[in-house]
């Protein structure tokens, strides 16, 4: 285990199993349809890569990047699109893929932006849901795990851009970001 990680919440095996279950559910729900997966960078890149390889319905992928956190641990509420989609999404079945839903600021803003482009449907998929800190309500269609209010890193999730490469999801030691142990 990495020295800055206090505890492992989800191991590689647990993540793999849950991703396969979500993909199977997506396959069932989109049978006979074509899907467009939209990954919200950067945090979702590993989840997206694993999820798309477990999905068997025909699909395209596209990417968006937004920024809101900076290097702190609390969402500012200000969301900015720093990279937009490359594809036209009009009339498409969209599945937005996130690594974590926290305050809800990012997804509620993104949904508004994407809905205005008139896709045929939009669903939301997040690997982690941290409901305790929700400020804006967001309806999730696919959730990997519901987690407590702890600062988690790994499997794409960062603190100050580090730890994304950890193959598991772990709780960061508070001393790393100046908190009480």
Span 58-77, contacts to ligand PRP by CB under 6 A: 67-69, 75
The catalytic position among 27, 62, 88, 102 is 102
Output the smallest distance, CB 43 to ligand PRP, in A: 3
Q: Which residues pair with 126 in a beta bridge?
A: 98, 143
Interface segment toward ligand PRP; rule CB under 6 A; list 12-20, 104-112, 140-148, 167-175: 104-112
Residue 106, interface with ligand PRP (CB under 6 A)?
A: yes
Please enumerate, as own/partner, the contacts of 42-45 that have beta carbons within 8 Å and a separation of 24 or more. Answer: 42/156, 42/158, 42/164, 43/98, 43/99, 43/100, 43/156, 43/157, 43/158, 43/164, 44/97, 44/98, 44/99, 44/127, 44/156, 45/156, 45/164
Q: In this chain, which of 26, 158, 172, 176 binds ligand PRP, going by CB under 6 A? A: 158
**Residues 102/133, Cβ–Cβ less than 8 Å:** yes
Count the residues of the shown chain that bind ligand PRP, applying the rule CB under 6 A: 18
Give me the 26-45 binding string for ligand PRP, x by CB under 6 A, dash otherwise. --------------xxxx--
Rounded distance, CA 45 to CA 117, Å? 23
Rank residues 93 and 103 by Cβ distance to ligand PRP and give the closer one: 103
Q: Catalytic site residues?
A: 102
């Amino acid at each position: 285990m990495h020295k800055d990680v206090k505890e492992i919440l989800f191991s590689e095996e647990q993540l793999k199993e849950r991703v396969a279950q979500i993909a199977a559910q997506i396959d069932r729900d989109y049978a006979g349809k074509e899907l467009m997966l939209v990954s919200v960078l950067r945090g979702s890149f590993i989840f997206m890569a694993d999820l798309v390889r477990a999905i068997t319905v025909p699909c395209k992928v596209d990417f968006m990047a937004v920024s809101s956190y900076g290097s702190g641990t609390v969402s500012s509420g200000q969301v900015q699109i720093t990279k937009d989609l490359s594809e036209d999404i009009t009339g498409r079945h969209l599945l937005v893929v996130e690594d974590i839903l926290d305050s809800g600021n990012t997804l509620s803003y993104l949904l508004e932006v994407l809905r205005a482009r008139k896709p045929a449907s939009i669903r939301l998929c997040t690997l982690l849901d941290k409901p305790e800190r929700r400020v804006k309500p967001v309806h999730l269609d696919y959730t990997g795990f519901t987690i407590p209010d702890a600062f988690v890193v790994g499997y794409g999730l960062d603190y100050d851009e580090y730890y994304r490469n950890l193959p598991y999801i772990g709780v960061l030691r508070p001393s790393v970001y100046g908190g009480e142990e």
